Structure 1
Amino acid sequence: MKRLMKWISWGTLSILLTLVLAVEYWASTDEGTLPAKTAVILHAVNNNIVSLDFEPPELFDNHPFQTSSGNAGGGPMLINEHEQLETNDGYHVPLEIFRYNDAEDAPILVYFHGGAFLEGYGSLHTHQDLMRELAQRTGAVVVGVGYRVAPDHTFPTAAEDAYEGLKWAVNHAEALGGSEEDVIVAGDSAGGNLAAVTSMMARDRNGPEIAGQVLYYPLTTFEDAAFASRMEYDSGYYLLSRQVMEKARDAYTPQPEMWKNPYTSPLEADSFENLPPALILTAEYDPLRDEGELYAEKLHEAGVPVNTIRYEGVMHGFVSFFEVMESGQQGLQDTSQFVQRMTAEEPEHDEVFAIQSKSQPSGMERVREQAEAYAIAAFLIGRSAWNTFQE
């Protein structure tokens, strides 16, 4: 028995040592040492152990991050509906809607998914969980717009689909239980670009009125701008590469003159005045970080109220990992607070432009993040070993 316990002890220590060494190795990059949770998730995605929309391990089933969409106790129920928008050229754009069944005069959040404007890189399906969570957190009617993408559809198709999606949501506000006076556009990455572009279109085309815009790590220019973040984090390890960005530009905007158009590159616009108040979230390890923050500064200079937050220690797309990352949870909380402010009070313009920095969790939150990182690492190593065994 003593010998068995000794072997169990040595085996346990060996497993723990393997986990620690693995996480430390994954966290070591040319750009510095990553937080454990960020390192584990990047390793998993970059090595195709899990997909971008993977289901978290069972240990997160009763995690405080999890929320319920049910109607326990007879409360309101979050429902999912599918509609279609017929565009001016006769195409039917799919719409994904999340709302509470008792919604009445609720804010409307028109959401544009990320995906580099390219087929196979993002869709309504890959962003279902995020849109559902936004509806739960904000109480808003969330309308996801499945805009057309390259290479089959070049500019301005995606932008026009996004704008038509905005108009559809406003025109159907009453039937959805929403308020056409409290419409906010939102999106991540390429979708963040479309949210900014749609805001400009609405301004330039005299409506619909937009109460606010939420931009998660947006692409703001197709120009070859020498941003430090583009050069430092463009390898693809941080979930977005220069290769993908160039592929997106070649496919979506094949003519160089398109790159300066404000409806592809809102950062190149002649005027930033009279645009809706903005919440812009950026990530430390993201090639799009600097251009998102510069766009925020341009808005501020034009008198637009803007709240800019840089999340430290995380990568492009971090909000989509809200089920396993505290920073993703904080991003959703910032979004919910922004939606509440935009629908309850007149936003104020700060005199001085500032980028708020949100550090990695500390104290017990940090301990929990570390423990979860190693738990996920064990899950990933086990899955990888099982896949190898099956082969």
Structure 2
Amino acid sequence: MSNLDSTLAGHAVPKPGASQPTNDGLDLIEEHILPKLDPEFLQYFIDVIAKQPPAHTIPIEEVRKSPQKHQPPCALDSSKEKGVGDHVVSSQDGTSIPVRVYHPVEDERGVVRPGPHPVHLNFHGGGFVLGDLHSEAGLCLVMRKAGVVVVDVNYRHCPETIWGKCIQDAWAALNWVRDEHVSLNVDPFSISIGGVSAGGHISLVLQHMARDAGIPLKLCMPTVPPTTDCLSLDYYTQSPYPSFHEFHRGPVLPWKRIKYFGNQCMPRDKLPEIRKMWPDWWLAPMRAPNWSGLCNTYIRTAEVDPLRDEGEAYAMKLVANGTMVTLKRYLGCPHTFMYLGVLSQKRQWDEDSIHALKVAHGLLK
């Protein structure tokens, strides 16, 4: 069965009397893409993105030296927030993986449920290269409003670590939550997983791994996930998905940025080794061998995103194999719209996240 959101998410229409985007910087966006974009994003592009050097031109060494300078807009230091605590998870090879745990605080009535609470694991985006416990702290603070504990996992990144360790780290975090459920005050039978972009990819792999291990999940909630090994491509034309071609020079996540991440994660000289180390479907969840018995899934895509079509193709494959799926496409939005607090559709993403988690974990009143 499926619950496909046929209405999708509407274009953001400027309110009467609202200012229209100025033209400075719009010449950087290709003509066939420009009319598709949300007007609120266009203004942000003019005010912020167009004034910065293209992200793919910044060497990874510079990013590592000044990580705060290159964090997404939703990044913040949440370590001092009420109900937030840091822990360490031991991965399969003994490496310590930092996680940040967000416990629910008072609801609108000033009440906190005693627990044990449902728990949601978040795997951040960043092309398997960028990100830390600050990157999506704003999103984690939003999601805990559903009344769930949120566990944010800072898995290992490339190029310092070979690709695939991120999956092992995420799997270790999932099992740590189950093993430590008493001390964490969480319900080991009410677990959901999700993430943005690379984190969405990780959550899709874990969806299959959990099924194979007999671990029940309430929901898998990836946003704008890559579901193929597109980071290993030599040219964007090798992708079979139309959105990959249509938006290969888009304003966010163009092909050059994808290739930038690919050069860190799956360089040509390391790719044979990576393919030998891990199951093929870890690199491309679309090639997973078994699609039966998977947990309910809520996939969200962005209209103006090269990864749109492969994310939606994954959703359709789930539907074809009997999984309950909700699919929502946010029209007019680029890849990282959920990071931009100035957008109405980012705020809609927040509301959708809270609602989906409440439904999945039986928390609706």
Sort the TM-score into its range (normalised by shorter chain): 0.7 to 0.9
Matched, 1:320 2:346: no
Question: Conserved in 2, the CA contact under 8 Å of 1:214 and 1:278?
Answer: yes
Deviation at 1:158, TM superposition (A): 0.5
Distance 1:161 1:263 in 2: 13
Structure 1 residue matching 2:142: 3-state secondary structure: helix
- Within 5 A, what are the aligned runs for 1:365-380? none
Match of 2:138 among 129, 135, 140: 129
The alignment status of 1:332 with 2:353, answered yes or no, reads no
Partner of residue 171 from structure 2, selected from 163, 180, 183: 163
Corresponding residue of 1:92: 96
Amino acid at match of 1:221: T
Aligned in 2, Cα 1:78/1:234: closer, same or farther, shift over 3 Å?
farther
Alpha-carbon offset, residue 51 of structure 1: 5.8
Give the Cα–Cα distance (whole angstroms) in 2 for the partners of residues 84 and 187 of structure 1.
Answer: 19
Q: Which amino acid aligns with 2:349?
A: G
Q: Distance in 2 between matches of 1:17 and 1:302?
A: 47
Q: Distance in 2 between matches of 1:90 and 1:113?
A: 21
Please, which of 251, 264, 270 is the counterpart of residue 237 of structure 1?
A: 251
3-state SS in 2 of match to 1:213: strand
**Structure 2 SS opposite 1:100:** coil
**Larger of the two Rg values belongs to structure:** 1
Say whether the 8 Å CA contact 1:23–1:39 is kept in structure 2: no
The one-letter code matched in structure 1 to 2:121 is V
Write the letter of the residue equivalent to 1:122.
G
| Shift of residue 225, structure 1, vs aligned partner | 2.4
Matches within 5 A, 1:351-390: none
Q: Which has the higher contact order (CA 8 A, sep 6+)?
A: 2
What secondary structure is seen at the aligned counterpart in 2 of 1:90?
coil
Secondary structure at the residue paired with 2:361?
Answer: helix
Of 178, 183, 190, which aligns to 1:182? 190
Q: What is the rounded CA distance, in whole Å, between the counterparts of 2:39 and 2:29 in structure 1?
A: 6
Does the aligned pair in 1 maintain the 2:147–2:358 contact within 8 Å? no
- What residue number does 1:369 align with? none
Q: 1:191-230, aligned counterparts within 5 Å?
A: 191-204=199-212, 206-223=213-230, 224-230=238-244
1:113 aligns to 2:124 (yes or no): yes
Superposed CA RMSD in Å reads: 2.9
Residue matched to 1:255: 271
AA aligned to 1:111 is N
The alpha carbon displacement at 1:23 in A equals 8.0
SS where residue 279 of structure 1 aligns? strand
Q: Which residue of 1 aligns with 2:149?
A: 141
Name the CA distance, whole Å, in 2 between partners of 1:91 and 1:51: 26
The answer for unaligned runs of 5 or more in structure 2 is: 1-17, 54-68, 106-111, 231-237
> Which amino acid letter does the alignment assign opposite residue 122 of structure 2?
Y
Once the 2 structures are TM-superposed, how far is the Cα of residue 35 of structure 1 from its aligned partner?
2.7
Write out aligned runs for 1:38-117 (5 A): 38-43=41-46, 44-48=48-52, 53-54=72-73, 78-100=82-104, 102=112, 103-117=114-128
Distance 1:158 1:18, change over 3 A: closer
| Structure 1 residue 52 displacement after superposition | 5.4
Separation (CA, whole Å) in 1 of partners of 2:310 and 2:122:
21
- The equivalent of 1:9 in structure 2 is none
Mapped partners of 2:121, 2:260: distance in 1: 27
Q: Is 1:342 paired with 2:360?
A: yes
* Structure 2 CA distance for partners of 1:82 and 1:284, relative to 1, 3 Å: same
Q: 1:27 touches 1:39 (CA, 8 Å); kept in 2?
A: no
How far apart are residue 241 of structure 1 and its match?
Answer: 2.3
Task: Give CA-to-partner distance per residue, 1:175-207, whole Å, 9 cap, x none.
Answer: 222211110001000000001011111122x14
CA contact (8 A) 1:108 1:179 kept: yes
* TM, length-normalised to structure 2: 0.76
- 2:254 is aligned with what amino acid? S
Give the structure with the higher percent helix.
1
TM-score relative to the length of structure 1: 0.71
Q: Give % identity.
A: 25
SS at match of 1:263: helix
Cα distance, 1:340 vs structure 2: 1.9
> Structure 1's 250 and 274: CA in aligned 2 closer, same or farther, altered over 3 A?
farther
List alignment gaps of at least 5 residues for structure 1.
1-15, 57-69, 71-76, 346-391
Q: Comparing 269-278 with 300-309, which one deviates more in the overlay?
A: 269-278
Corresponding residue SS for 1:192: helix
Aligned-pair CA distance for 1:272: 1.5
Give the Cα–Cα distance (whole angstroms) in 1 for the partners of residues 100 and 202 of structure 2. 17
Determine the C-alpha separation between the residues in 2 that align with 1:51 and 1:91: 26
Equivalences, count: 306
Letter of the structure 2 residue corresponding to residue 92 of structure 1: S
Q: Which stretch of the first structure deviates more once superposed, 84-93 or 20-29?
A: 20-29
